[in-house]
Amino acid sequence: PIYYAMHPINEQYSHWIVDKLTLKYLCAGTKLDQYIPKYYFQIDSKGHVLALSDALQQEADRIDVCAISELLSKIGELAFKRTAGSLGEGFYKATYQNGKYYLNSKAYTRDKFEEEILSLRDYLVTEYLHPHKDMIPFSADTVNTIRYLIGRGADGGMQLIKSYIRFGTEKSGFVENYAAGGVLCFISEMGKFESGNLLDMKVMKNQIVSTHPDTGIELKGQIPLWQEIQYVADLFGRFFPQMDYLGLDFVVTDKNDVKILEINSLTSLDAIQLQGSILKSAQGDFFRSRLRDK
């Protein structure tokens, strides 16, 4: 309750980052734009298909659902995500192969595919990202998102509060969230991880695991491009001084680059406290200083 009473930490500016489309356009034309995935289309609250900045059919006289299926047939993969969603809820992976359209592995004809996606509301259609080659052995079917939680210190600079990577499992499907059955591994300040956390759904208790539950591979490694992740987080803090508390979701891709999937303004404390109370850590100063203000 005390934690939630601290919000909105970012005050009226929270909506800048909670809404993925707003974030995309705020970063356009800045150094941060290269770290945002391509956004092709929006399906708005009325079911209208709108072309976004990275749409390939910008010259077309008419943009409708056909433009989405045509783009998918050209590039093979697209991601459908809620404009202001969280925890991977409502996520779809769309693919095209041998004349068939798929949503999360379910096959459709083109007409049925278009009918299905036209039923969606407040969705973004973006490029689909694949994990870096070093992360594929842990989970090849998810992007293996890195949560990088930062807070603004008394000197005005951003400090790292906690970071962790999540790997998908058979239970979690196309998302890798801890609450959905994914594996969560904390990352050291040097970008290394060792062992993980897995939620036992039967008793709803955390388990410490040394290997991935499906692949059996040891949960130990170095995050690729760790220094660039740190640079981008700092860059975002400098570009948006209005923000005091950010949970950046990074992906290191198979193209050897860093992308920001989304930014959270209200990161749950459940995951970051699996190792103990955040208030008892050195990084707890960020929270303690705000508790005294209440």
Q: Could you report the per-residue pLDDT of 175-218, keeping only the tens digit for each?
A: 788 888 899 999 999 999 999 999 887 888 889 999 999 989 99
Which residues, other chains included, contact 156 with Cβ-Cβ below 8 Å and sequence gap of 6+? Answer: 241
d(CA 257, CA 228) in angstroms, rounded, equals: 9
Contact 199, 292 (CB under 8 A): no
Return the axis-axis angle of helices 110-117 and 65-75, rounded to nearest 10°: 120
Confidence check: pLDDT of 108 > 90: yes
Containing H/E element for 149? strand 146-152
Judged against a pLDDT cut of 80, whether residue 88 lies above it is answered with: no
Instruction: Give the residue among 35, 26, 2, 19 at the shortest CA–CA distance from 265.
Output: 19
Cis peptide before 213 (omega within 30 of 0): no
Matching residue, tokens 């259609």: 125
pLDDT at 133: 96
pTM passes above 0.95: no
Tell the burial category of 156 from Cβ atoms under 10 Å away from its Cβ (0-12, 13-18, 19+). exposed
